[in-house]
Chain A
Amino acid sequence: MTALWTLFLTAAFVDNMPLTLFLGLCTFLALSRTPGSALGLGIAMTAVLGVTVPLNHVIYHTLLAPGAWGWAGLPEIDLSYLALIAFIGVIAATVQLLEMVMDRFFPAIHAAFGVFLPLLTVQCAILAGSLFMVDRAYTLAESAVFGLGSGLGFAVAVVLLGAIRTRLAYADLPAGLRGLGIAFVLTGLMSLGFASFAQMASAP
């Protein structure tokens, strides 16, 4: 139990997807202009990561991993090179399904956050969640916790950046730095801040 809790906190803060691993930055920067849209993106991210990482874990280990076809008398088959296409397919299908379910049962939430869902199909952070799961050989429980933690970390970071960018109304920036430029600098400063979590984690 403690191990899972540690994994959750590590995924959310120490290995923060956008700030320390540079994942999902395109949407991170494009949709953080206001805290409202940032929150929508964060919630959608958490939902999709929390579903796809454990789902891909099941698919990888029952169909694709080396030796997964041993029960059918084909132990030498190794389909792991197909993982990329399988993961992308699962992610695209999950996003589509999530959108339809939300549209049917929670139309209000869909109206608020629905526009962000299709974008998530091609979000590198989502695919990276599944690739890390294979790379680090997580168990099913670990991968679920890892997916939720990473999603939460992304949500926290993007909402913080959205709030800071709203405050930029009071800053007189040079013309060339407005928009993308200052967003990069802010992300860099936040990344420095999140680096202190890594220090706390490595301290005894």
Chain B
Amino acid sequence: MSSRTDLRATLTDPLVRQNPVTLQILGICSALAVTTSVATALTMSVSLTVVLTLSAAAISLIRRHIPDAIRLIVQIVIVASMVIVIDQVLQAFLGEISRALSIYVSLITTNCLVLGRTEAYARHHAPLPAAVDAFGNGLGYSLVLLVVGALRELLGRGALFGHSVLPTVDEGGWFTPLGLMLLAPSAFFLLGGLVWAIRSLRPEQSEAPEHTPPTRTAEAAE
């Protein structure tokens, strides 16, 4: 049976060591699209963590009753129902942020992170570890989102959560906002840099070269 330490490892592993975004290549789409400000990044993180935890627990509860052949459809329908609930809640109570996130909340349905974890973990484990694993992965995802969101808002607008931190030139300060930070390419650069930083600290994560150049003959090398 899983002991307390196992549960803790399940919870903390996905934070950096097994981070869903930087190592498992899961859930990248939304990680980049909603990070132009910390507020949207935070809303998205919370929504995803809630959906992920609830659906992992639900799928784990009925895991012995789902026929193997149609399990994807069953899982997607469960996830989609959760997403509809979250989407309606956001529209009701956080109208402005809900509009800023536009369709990306609905897209949690097809976020590969959700389906990846339910398929890889929740399907084979009891509800409690499944929920803990899902919650840990949600936190790992949130961590990446908040770091990227904070960097982009700070460098792009000189603000955090909409409050001015670095006084910009327009407001009589010294900081010239980097407009590029609010555009699509910078998100890729930041995430690439983040992956590089994590893998420099944890070399065991780095990948083997994907392609090797054709070998030269001995005289050509001379």
**Chain A residues close to B by CB (< 8 Å):** 19-26, 29-30, 33, 81-82, 84-85, 88-89, 92, 121-128, 131-132, 135, 165-166, 168-170, 173-185, 187-189, 191-192, 195
- CB pair A22 B29 closer than 8 Å: yes
- For B110, list chain A residues within 8 Å (CB): 88, 122-124, 126-127
A85-B81, A124-B110 given; A135·B102 CB < 8 A: yes
Confirm or deny: B109 has a beta carbon within 8 angstroms of a beta carbon on chain A: yes
* A180-B26 Cα distance, complex, nearest whole Å: 12
- CB pair A131 B192 closer than 8 Å: no
A84-B80, A185-B189 given; A176·B200 CB < 8 A: yes
Q: Which of B10-18, B149-157, B158-166, B178-186 contacts A (4 or more CB under 8 A)?
A: B178-186
Q: Identify B195's interface contact among A81, A89, A123, A184, CB under 8 A.
A: A184
Chain B residue with minimal CB distance to A118? B72
- For B196, list chain A residues within 8 Å (CB): 174, 176-177, 181
- CB pair A168 B211 closer than 8 Å: yes
Q: Identify B192's interface contact among A121, A125, A170, A182, CB under 8 A.
A: A182
Interface size class of B (residues with CB under 8 A): 35 or more
Q: Identify B185's interface contact among A29, A89, A191, CB under 8 A.
A: A191
Smallest CB–CB gap between A31 and chain B, Å? 11
* A184-B185 Cα distance, complex, nearest whole Å: 9
Q: Identify A135's interface contact among B25, B103, B112, B211, CB under 8 A.
A: B103
- CB pair A195 B189 closer than 8 Å: no
**Chain B residues close to A by CB (< 8 Å):** 22-23, 25-30, 32-33, 72-73, 76-77, 80-81, 83-84, 87-88, 102-103, 106-107, 109-112, 115, 183-189, 191-193, 195-200, 203, 205-213
- CB pair B76 A20 closer than 8 Å: no
- For A168, list chain B residues within 8 Å (CB): 209-211
A-B contact pairs, 29 of them (CB 8 A): A21-B33, A22-B30, A22-B33, A23-B33, A24-B29, A26-B27, A33-B210, A81-B84, A81-B88, A82-B84, A84-B80, A88-B77, A88-B110, A92-B72, A92-B73, A121-B72, A122-B76, A124-B111, A131-B106, A169-B210, A176-B198, A177-B199, A178-B206, A178-B208, A180-B23, A180-B195, A184-B195, A187-B188, A189-B185
